[in-house]
Homo-oligomer: A and B are copies of this chain.
Amino acid sequence: MGGKPPLSPLAPASFPDLPEIGGVSFATVAAGVRYQGRTDVMLCRLAPGTSMAGVFTRSSTRSAAVLDCQDKIGGDSEAGAAILVNSGNANAFTGKHGRASVEAVTAAAAKVLDLPQERIFTSSTGVIGEPMKHDRIIAKLEELDGKLSAAGISEAAEAIMTTDTFPKGSTVTVEIGGKPVKIAGIAKGSGMIAPDMATMLVYIFTDAAVERSVLQDMVSALTDLTFNCITVDSDTSTSDTLLLAATGASGVTVSAEDTAFIEALRTVMLDLAHQVVKDGEGASKFIEIHVTGAQSDADAKTHALAIANSPLIKTAVAGEDPNWGRIVMAIGKSGAAADRDLISIWFGDTLVAEKGWVAESYREEDGANHMKGQDIVFKVDLGLGGGAATVWTCDLTHGYIAINADYRS
């Protein structure tokens, strides 16, 4: 590896001040799974009665840890639970050895933490296709257990990093029935999503009490509006995992109709999703793509993702080139319904093209000015119906090539 990549120019000024969440404690340790001189394992313990919900990669080559989490996520919450994450090795494409590693780690953690093995959730992120030295993790479990602290969430955010250039955290406190309910989350990921070391992992905690099936429905629906609306390079990890834990420690019970809670959770998830894009490999600009007027919301998202994933558009943004023709191209190739002569396009607030033709009012220098900013907004109206969607991505720069053309050497 040719040295640590520089901090993303889109990184937030600082890591947010995340509150302690009742019923949640953290510990981290340097186990030397692959990295030296940094923490690479984090343990999170969740109090008895915590509801757990999760969303996982749809890859057909998903890792052993993901398969194990999927098996366990619907289980009973009486005993509490634990989340154990290592960076440095993804334990993916490791066949029966991979399954054996997960079995060994979860069995050992269950014993040390005095929890049922079915309540130990693991994630692994790092190189794939190499056997994981899980003994190094197991050897640190007692130490991790002894260090558990309600205040350790920011250290946890650092221990799970791989190619990330900054740790990612977000929090919202919302008042429900006159009582504060806290939500705090951490994430890692800097490609969407490189299988080597840029897997996206997200862990969100709340002290609300939420019934498991309700929690699962919430996180599934909100993922479609947040993490499933971001893309860095159209690639998908074998290990993407999002876990949401509701401890109930606030004493406030949240139902499926509780829009204030849902909105707060959406805010945390979207913030974390945006931070992943802003740490996109080589990213120099953050791009929002807003499509309206499609025949359906699904069509709008198809168009928006075709724009977001087009290498020609992403390179044009990198070059600050107001090349609206490439947006027309992406709409055309997306496969969703479009009528060339009804399409209108804006760069920020500047109308660029109107009903299939360059707008009379458009001056190239206005488009060029918008492209010089760090936050790029493309709006597209298809003029066909009421479908709308918004997605987020970053530009494609020499930095992306440099990071990915020479990653393992």
Instruction: Check: A129 CB closer than 8 A to any chain B CB.
Output: yes
Q: How many residues from A make CB contacts under 8 Å with B?
A: 68
Q: A97–B356 Cα gap in the complex (Å)?
A: 10
How far does the Cβ of A357 sit from chain B's closest Cβ, in whole Å?
Answer: 4
Whether, in the assembled complex, A158 has its beta carbon less than 8 Å from a beta carbon of chain B, the answer is no
**Once the chains bind, are B329 and A127 in contact (CB under 8 Å)?**
no
Question: Does A330 count as interface, using CB distance less than 8 angstroms?
Answer: yes
Known: A196-B325, A357-B97. A315 touches B61 (CB 8 A): no
B-contact bits for A306-327, CB 8 A (1 contact / 0 none): 0001111001101101011110
Q: Does A351 contact B (CB under 8 A)?
A: no
A353, CB-defined interface residue at 8 Å: yes
Q: Is the CB of B404 within 8 A of A401?
A: no
Chain B: CB-nearest residue to A354: B95
Q: Which residue of B lies closest to A127 (CB)?
A: B325
Main secondary structure of the interface of A (DSSP, over half): loop
The CA-CA distance from A353 to B130 in the complex, in Å, is 11
Closest to A405 in B: B319
CB contacts (< 8 Å) of A401 on chain B: these are 315, 318, 396-398, 400-401
A312–B97 touching, CB < 8 Å: no
Nearest-CB residue, chain B, relative to A128 = B325
A234 with B311: CB separation less than 8 A: yes
Interface: A124 (CB within 8 A): no
Asked whether A173 is an interface residue with its Cβ less than 8 Å from the other chain, the reply is: no
For residue A238, which residues in chain B have a CB less than 8 angstroms away from its CB? 328-329, 332
Contact B405 A321 (CB under 8 A): yes
Shortest Cβ distance from residue A57 to the other chain B in the assembled complex, whole angstroms: 8
CB-CB nearest in chain B for A336: B60
4 shortest interchain CB distances as A-B pairs: A319-B405, A61-B332, A59-B332, A195-B329
